Structure 1
Amino acid sequence: MRFSVKTGAPLLAMALALTACGTSGGDDEPSANGGEAGSCEDIAIGYFGALTGAAANLGINIRNGVELAVQQFNEENPDCEVALEEYDSAGDPNQATGLATQAIGDEDVIGVVGPAFSGESDTAGPIFAEGELPTISASATNPALSENGWDTFHRILGNDASQGPAAATYIQDVLQSDSVFVVDDASAYGAGLAEIVEEDLGDAVVGTDTIQTGQTDFSATIAAIRDSGADAVFFGGYYAEAGLLVEQMRRGGVDATFVVADGVKDPGFIEAAGDAAEGTIITCPCLPPEESDEFFQAYEEAFGTAPATYSAEAYDAANVMLQGIAEGNTTRESLLEWINEYDGEGITKEVSFDETGEVQNISVWAYAVKDGEIVADQEIETD
């Protein structure tokens, strides 16, 4: 689906408030990175990730953050309107190949926010690299993604090499647990994160198990948890399975503290788990969206709901690209150079990328489910 996004919602005059290393020579002069400022005919950026499927909520959060950034940009730059192209992967790596190929063929698209998930990022990454189409993921956290030599790959949040140890630190230092059962969902994201947590917890791990995405009966896993005597359970996976798992744990008499990560930080988890969600600890390399009042208000006005997991990170990622376009970078090549050299202040962090595409400013937060809501608990110290 392709559309030029609407600009009727109240917008902030902050779309270009970021400060970057490129400079423009004026409205009609070439920018430092090539191209002509103000020349934006037939230019689009893309969103790549789930809009349907079991993890659609997380993808919609991200898409909305991108859409808000584009809305604001077009309001501030009526002579340089940018379109938004959507690539709905349903969170399925098997669909990523065709969608990435489609994005490469869409010549108007010069940058993509996404892919949203690690599995689809692994599949689509080499295609984007071959097509020289720059990407910034707001949510894919598998550490190996930046180790493939893809110059087009970037992510605007810390990866699981920081989130995993942070989760282990919280379990040991805050929960003071010395017996942890680790479960993963066999996905690139969930299994990779669970492995890192398991390694960091060491002898505190008293058992492990693997489930499958789409699974609904976890009786065997719950029996193993109960038999292990664990006082904490870490789950690496997404909110649909997490909600059912903890609900069945509580129904089966397991009262161990449930600890999960960013793939579960969504109201869909509470909807699936009901009262059993209460007390769950959720880690995320994401800033609480309410930390930026202006963004929070603008998002609510645009979409009628509060920003959620990775909306703010997606907004920052889109604005890196949009500011590059405003500076005259209207080809994939020049926009990629802009992103690689970018250094500017976003709403979630100061944004700059290292040579592998990793963002250099990282924070990990712990959230807790209290009274049926996901609320910020504390920032977790990371090395």
Structure 2
Amino acid sequence: MRFGRVLALAAATSLALAGCAGGGSSSSSGDGSTLKIGFMGDLTGENSGIVIPPDNGAKLAIDEYNATNPKVKLELKNYDSQGKPEQATSLVQTAIGTDKITALIGPAFSGESKAVGGVLEQGKIPSVSPSATNPGLAANGWKYWHRVVANDNDQGPAIANFLITAKSPKNAYVLSDDQEYSVGLADAFEKTFKDKGITTERDKFAKDASDYSSTVQKVKAANPDVITFGGYYAQGGRLLKQLRDGGVKAIFATGDGSLDPQLVSGAGAAAADGAVIGCPCNIPDAGATNEFATKYKAKFNVDPAIYATEGYDAATAIINAVKAGNTTGEKINEFLKTADFKGASKQIKFKENGEPQTNAIYVYQVVGGVIKNLGASTEAKING
């Protein structure tokens, strides 16, 4: 039912925005003009810890650009979807129809990206997501959609293969909730294990469930060597705690949606210890010194976290288009086809379908209550 309402809202929004094709407007700003750029994602919801860092990264890039006193300045407008597809569908109507954004950084999550992608396409609003990883997003034929992270068809196999190399499992259990991102990542885990001849079982629970006792009993009965979870940290922390409380000791691995200290706090440090987390992001360890980390900490008084560099790079791709004299959605989109620059996260260049050219996956592990970067999945060594 919920998905049906999302489709209905999207259809209504598409009709309402049909007259907005071309996207964006500029307002007077001294001797120049100002373009509005949107950022959409979960900024106050249960998984906002994944989205606030890329929003901060985008703010940093735009503030740096505006400080050069360009002829065309940029105004970043936030749209807090709380990660809910139906909320994103409503917000995109305001963003395009009322605020007249020229481009969008985001949406941050896959479900909301799927819900609004067609509306952005019809409005000719280029979007660059710093963090949506569902593989199917690239298969919609959208010409205005881009992302700067590898998808779950890269992430899932990389995490699963890392576990296979490290632990030589004979059987695996794949878990997820029912969100778009979660199911897609779990699909990738399951396929990789089965392709390698590993006995694999699977279970799924509702996103808003809080009692996972049925799932815990299934996993305990199966006695797997490894457990993988597709989902975000809000659910992942609760799940991991209940698995450990239920006597399940197998190594627990998950993806980028759970790469946040709240996975550890949600599970408890003892339960989370040893958990493996994969991500198409390379976060400097706390206290690391590099140019981006130094600038980010000076502005926000915290170390950069998940997708902070990707938020910066997504904004920079749009900034570079504006620097080159492109001030409409259509012209910015044409410029993005030629984008090729060294970003804070990686070399930024898009394939024809909006996917990034670079698809490296990094592995992290909870050690002593702290999430440590182990390095690229093809080279990382597990602790324990």
Q: Give the structure-2-normalised TM-score.
A: 0.87
Q: 2:249 aligns with which of 255, 262, 283?
A: 255
- 1:65-144 correspondence to structure 2 within 5 Å: 65-77=57-69, 79-106=71-98, 108-144=100-136
Secondary structure (helix, strand or coil) at the match of 1:86 reads strand
The answer as to 2:218 corresponding to 1:224 is: yes
The answer as to 2:281 corresponding to 1:286 is: yes
Rate the CA distance shift 1:40–1:151 in 2: closer, same or farther, 3 A: farther
Which runs of 5 or more residues in structure 1 are unaligned? 1-37
Partner of 2:11: none
- How far apart, in 2, do the equivalents of 1:144 and 1:328 lie? 33
8 Å contact kept, 1:286–1:309: yes
8 Å contact kept, 2:162–2:378: no
How far is 1:185 from its partner? 0.7
Q: Which moved more, 1:240-249 or 1:206-215?
A: 206-215
Secondary structure (helix, strand or coil) at the match of 2:306 reads coil
Rate the CA distance shift 1:78–1:343 in 2: closer, same or farther, 3 A: closer
Partner of 1:16: none
Quick one: percent identity of the two aligned structures? 37
Amino acid aligned to 2:274: G
How far is 1:39 from its partner? 8.1
Amino acid aligned to 2:376: E
Tell me which of the two structures has the higher relative contact order, counting C-alpha pairs closer than 8 angstroms and 6 or more residues apart.
1
Amino acid aligned to 2:210: T
- How far apart, in 2, do the equivalents of 1:274 and 1:128 lie? 40
8 Å contact kept, 2:193–2:200: no
8 Å contact kept, 1:40–1:330: no
Amino acid aligned to 2:366: V
Partner of 2:198: 204
Q: 2:232 aligns with which of 210, 235, 238?
A: 238
Q: 2:378 aligns with which of 370, 378, 381?
A: 381
How far is 1:212 from its partner? 1.5
Provide the aligned length of Structure 1 versus Structure 2: 345
The answer as to 2:264 corresponding to 1:270 is: yes
Q: 1:54 aligns with which of 46, 53, 62?
A: 46
How far is 1:377 from its partner? 1.0
- How far apart, in 2, do the equivalents of 1:318 and 1:78 lie? 16
Partner of 2:341: 344
- How far apart, in 2, do the equivalents of 1:108 and 1:51 lie? 21
- How far apart, in 2, do the equivalents of 1:330 and 1:120 lie? 26
Q: For each residue in 1:234-261, what CA deviation from the matched residue of structure 2 results, as whole angstroms up to 9, or x when unmatched?
A: 0000001110111111111111100000
Partner of 1:299: 296
How far is 1:288 from its partner? 2.0
Secondary structure (helix, strand or coil) at the match of 1:73 reads helix
How far is 1:78 from its partner? 5.3
Amino acid aligned to 1:229: N
Moved over 3 A (4+): 289-292
8 Å contact kept, 2:57–2:311: yes
